[in-house]
Chain A
Amino acid sequence: MSPVDQLFSTNGFKVLVAVIFVILLFVSLTDLVSTWLRKPTIGQHVNAAVTGRWWVAVLVMTVFGAMIAHFFVYITHA
């Protein structure tokens, strides 16, 4: 057993679940309410924010793609 294996804690997994799902639930609810109230979607707001700053979207997409590969392609690495 390596030191890394010994130090995994349930609290670490709790933080992981909390961060992921608080964001997902918040975004999902916000989009639902904006649709209900006939307001622009989050996507339209982000669109307005990155119009003229397309490089922001490119940067975020690059980070997103890198994270998918980093987390999942090497999933069995410690």
Chain B
Amino acid sequence: MDISLNWERNAFLGGITNTYELAEFQFNELEPVAEGMLFFDGLPDTGLVGTIVAHHLVGAKKMSPLVRIDSNLLPPVAVVKDMDLFEPLSVYRSGTLAVLTSEIPIPTEAVKPFSRELTSWAARRKLRAIISVGGLADPRRPETDKPEVLYITNSPETFSSQVDLKGLKPLASAFLAGSKAAFLLDCYRAKLPTLGLFVQSFLNYPDPGAAASALDALNNVSELNVDTSELVKSGEEMRLRYRDLMRRTMGEMERAQKSRELETPSLVV
């Protein structure tokens, strides 16, 4: 990495304390990233479950932007809010919690490079643990009032004191596809303590009910303890608000072979 070029870019962009630049993605840090943070992945996926949780956390905890992420692999889209202009892919912070969220789905071609470089950033910044929440499409979801939560972890000792893993069902044998699959795989490979929560949800409809179930399961994690009643109360409004993001995410999910999640792996050892 060319340090002088980096300095010039930082001076030009203003307010950025550090740019962690890898092959494809730039992580523009707006303030120093403390060690030992809990990282929550809320990238758009099945039922937008993780994204709804992430947005709820950002709003409920009044989180501030920590990292803005940019890449040539992302479409040239900017978000406008209160005369501010920023990248759609951001990490927000409150105390020791860092939440990754996005206003756009990650294009399928960018999923693997982004996942690799995000994991590299997470390891470099010595994050304490990773929690990734997603939906698991289930055709029986319309008849279900309390969606089931399944989990996968490479470090039960890290999470069992705060998450009642015995009360959840382990994800025993399944295919995962898309951004969650790539990120979990990279976190496992990098040996970062990781918990993946997958909630029974709609495939193609935003699912605030499934998001509330995920947050209820994480309620004892001090950083993630928020009131979920608002998610249920304003669920119908949310389903409308997330309609466009859901439609865009559906396109990317189709390209990421999301239907594999309905298949069973053939390797039995």
Q: Do A and B come from one complex?
A: no
* Interface positions of A (Cβ within 8 A of B): none
* Interface positions of B (Cβ within 8 A of A): none
